[in-house]
Structure 1
Amino acid sequence: MSSSTRRAPADESDPSPPAPPRPAALRPGDVIGLCSPSMPHAARFPRRRARAVGALEAAGYRVREGRNWLKDTGHTAGTPEERAQDLHELFADGEVRAIMTSIGGYNANQLLELLDYELIRRHPKLLIGYSDATALLLAIWTRARVGVVMGPQLLPQWGESGGCLSYTEAMLERTVADSRPLGDIPFPEEQVLEFLAWDRDDERPRRQERAAPVRVLREGAAEGFLIGANLDTLLRLAGTDFWPELGGAMLLMETAGGDIGEVEAQLTHLRHLGVFDQIVALGLGRFTDPAMDRLPELAAVVDRAARGFRGPILSGLPLGHTDPMMCVPFGARATLYAGERQRLTVLDPAVREEGFMP
């Protein structure tokens, strides 16, 4: 297989989107807004919530809580209108420099038709989250072309006993507080798999163990712009106006699922949607079941589902439902190498140095 670098077209037909507006780099004392676009766990786990907020403050930030983020209406934190209101108010708030979601769930897609994308476009700031929150990231990226980041959430990562894991915190800091290109992304050798029930057993740091190494499923090299997603959440947007333009994209995605048959079905769905005709590279995140990362048949399954795709494919990347985790700034140009070495290099910053863009 050729190892020549695949690139998005560079002529007038180039489908790559323009670089998103970059908010100013976060500085100590800046305000991070908090919202709950899906599950009501911020209300249900007060000790975890307090510890997470304290960790963000210890890192030098102030927090501003959305007015509805502690509501509990069953499987969601308030009505769709209330959750959308929080996002609108936090985006419009001139003191808020970034917005972080509390946790994922299943129903962030209820907000997509309620969001004022013109308001969001006028007040560009980084929205940070993963899992179900990637529905918001994808929609805001698609409709408002505002920079967003697939990265750590308040409760799962910042609420960790002993503090946010050092790799996760360092990668977020590098993404939101450094206006230089992110450069080479290190792949941590450790992974946290232990579960400790929140507000009951989570009074000590969870045990870390050696992770499966990043694995080459298809050799090659590519350059494109980054898009991150939870696979389940991405597929819920198929056929809607919120589906992202993927021409020239380097798609980094993950799933919390642990069934190889379901993964193959989902990847086949992506092929049916024409995704593999558009993207230049594919990166799969670590699975929540580490046995999946080591399955001998994983390569065959991905190869079969992505048949016809010629770009490089890596698995075992530290993103999404895994700890520690990297960040994926949407729209940033990156290169990916898969062969004797595995390397992801982000060529752009996610933020800029100058004053905050109004």
Structure 2
Amino acid sequence: MFSPLKKGDMIGIYSPSKPATVTAKARYERGKKRLEALGLIIREGSLTGKDDFYRSGTPKERAQEFNALLRDPQVKMILPTMGGTNANSMLPYLDYQAFRQNPKMLVGLSDVTAILLGMYAKTEIPVFYGPSVASTFGEFPPFVQYTQQYFKNLFMHSLPIPYDMPVPPIWTDDRLNWLEKTSEKTQHPNSWITAQSGVAEGRLIGGNINTMYGFIGTPFFPQIKEGDILLLEDTSKTIAVVEKNFTMLKLHGVFDKAAAIILGKHEQYDDLGTGRKPFEVLLEVLDGNNIPIIAEVDCCHTHPLHAIPIGLRIRVDASKKQISFLESWYS
């Protein structure tokens, strides 16, 4: 399917939503240098250094940038600069056939959920919920050092199967120092949470819930199958929006088919004074559906970030708070 990245391999970078190469240039450049320090060659997309107010370009221009990287035989992996809000507007214009004929490792998170799930829905080629250049690799030590090591383990070496996801010793969701470092961020001691116990194996599907709102129920959204394991995460939402978003998935019948749920850490979550966590809201919405749930997993907007494969089989042992990859993406 794929082969591990090696020094001298090329990564393509594109801007599917926010114009991060303009609005977060220092952070973008920092992330790019970290990737280059791994020996990787960067090919910047055609919208690098460009912006159209809240976005990097029109839907067609953003799709053209992405498609050019898909069609480039030298590009082995494609990473976004960061997310935003409008990647779903690219979906009608993406070259799914090019991805099918010449698969590349597609990695990203947040709003990039639309592109990841759209490409998977049309091709059934695995994609990866993982880092972006500015928002993830542009982070400061010590958090980014863990993220970088996880990236090397997953994408620059042959993967031992089964592979158990590590739990980083620390984490943060501080919004300080977005561009330049002025003070130290809070280092929280880390642990995952057993929201509901149990064990399940199945195909991983999911991503950012707020992004799913923009294309669920369309041909670009993968069909949820009986026994799937759901990855769910969000950022900067109030508890009221969290309840609404979980309920949206329930009303679409998603929870009726799921065998387990991985709930990522929610960056900058606002409980509106309730003291209630996102997993507690999820349990209320599930209303007695007793599937295994691991919460507070480090695969989303917080730092460090560990990538996770969409479309491949994994094992969730919520009782032991353990997530294992059961399939390699390397041929």
Same fold (TM > 0.5): yes
Task: Map 1:6-45; keep pairs closer than 5 Å.
Answer: 22-45=1-24
How far apart are the structure 1 equivalents of 2:151 and 2:86?
A: 25
Distance 1:275 1:211, change over 3 A: farther
In the TM superposition, residue 164 of structure 1 has moved relative to its aligned partner by 6.8
1:119-140 deviations in whole A, cap 9, x for unaligned? 1211100111101011100100
Distance 1:103 1:163, change over 3 A: farther
In the TM superposition, residue 227 of structure 1 has moved relative to its aligned partner by 2.0
Establish whether residue 320 from structure 1 lines up as the match of residue 305 from structure 2: no
1:190 to 170, 175, 179: 170
Distance 1:299 1:231, change over 3 A: closer
TM-score, normalisation: structure 2: 0.92
1:105 to 46, 68, 84: 84
In the TM superposition, residue 179 of structure 1 has moved relative to its aligned partner by 2.8
In the TM superposition, residue 297 of structure 1 has moved relative to its aligned partner by 6.0
Distance 1:91 1:298, change over 3 A: closer
Q: Could you say which residue in structure 1 is the equivalent of 2:286?
A: 306
2:325 to 346, 352, 356: 346
Establish whether residue 229 from structure 1 lines up as the match of residue 207 from structure 2: yes
Task: Map 1:249-260; keep pairs closer than 5 Å.
Answer: 249-260=228-239
How many residues align? The count is 327
Distance 1:27 1:228, change over 3 A: farther
1:279 to 231, 249, 258: 258
Q: Name the amino acid aligned to 1:113.
A: P
Report if aligned partners of 2:235, 2:269 keep a CA contact under 8 Å in 1.
no
Q: Name the amino acid aligned to 1:336.
A: V
Q: Name the amino acid aligned to 2:8.
A: G
Distance 1:56 1:206, change over 3 A: farther
How far apart are the structure 2 equivalents of 1:182 and 1:60?
A: 27
Distance 1:210 1:300, change over 3 A: closer
User: Percent same amino acid at aligned positions?
Assistant: 32
SS in 2 for 1:284: strand
SS in 1 for 2:294: strand
2:114 to 127, 135, 148: 135
Distance 1:46 1:257, change over 3 A: closer
2:95 to 101, 106, 116: 116
How far apart are the structure 1 equivalents of 2:191 and 2:63?
A: 39
Report if aligned partners of 2:172, 2:302 keep a CA contact under 8 Å in 1.
yes
Stretches of structure 1 that go unaligned for 5 or more consecutive residues are 1-21, 353-358
SS in 2 for 1:82: helix
Report if aligned partners of 1:124, 1:147 keep a CA contact under 8 Å in 2.
no
Distance 1:35 1:251, change over 3 A: same
Q: Structure 1 segments of 4 or more deviating over 4 A?
A: 294-300
SS in 1 for 2:152: helix
In the TM superposition, residue 114 of structure 1 has moved relative to its aligned partner by 0.7
RMSD between superposed Cα atoms in Å: 2.1
